[in-house]
Amino acid sequence: MKSKHPVFHSGSRKSITIFFNDEAVEAFEGQTVAAALVNSGRWLLGTSRSKNQPRGVFCTQGWCTNCYIHHQGEARVLACRMKSYDGMKVYSNQGDPAVPEDDND
Ligand code: FES
């Protein structure tokens, strides 16, 4: 069931289709990818590198970096900061960014 929350509601926006891991997802033009995915019941957006823990939408404001996804060759963009457009393809993120070696040892 779709939410009536204003973040998820269409208003007068155009209905579009985005693709998450090659699955079609209904969205509204300009809706964040995170909102479109959560509204479709897709809460799992990836896993962490070291412990393989689930990652998904948490802060919705670009602070926590928990919602990393891949967007058409671009690794690790934030789903909560990216706006949907028709036909866009995004993929789940497996693993956190590599941590550089500490040269000060
Ligand atoms: S949900 Fe926190 S940065 Fe996207």
**Ligand 1 centroid distance, CA of 38 (Å):** 12
Is any ligand 1 atom within 6 A of the Cβ of residue 57? Answer: yes
Ranges of each domain in the chain: 15-94
Return per-residue pLDDT of the chain as tens, 105 residues.
555 665 566 667 899 999 999 999 999 999 999 999 999 999 999 998 888 899 999 999 999 999 999 998 887 899 999 999 999 999 999 876 666 676 655
**Are the CB atoms for 64 and 17 separated by under 8 Å?**
no
**Which residues lie closer than 8 Å to 99 by C-beta, 6 or more apart?**
none
User: The tokens of 65 are what?
Assistant: 């970096």
Is any ligand 1 atom within 6 A of the Cβ of residue 43? Answer: no
Nearest CA to ligand 1 atom 3: 62
Quote the pTM value. 0.81
Element (H, E) at 37: helix 33-39
Is any ligand 1 atom within 6 A of the Cβ of residue 58? Answer: yes
The CATH-assigned architecture of domain 15-94 is: Roll (3.10)
**Ligand 1 centroid distance, CA of 78 (Å):** 6
- Residue corresponding to tokens 């928990």: 66
Q: How far is CA 80 from the centre of its chain?
A: 6
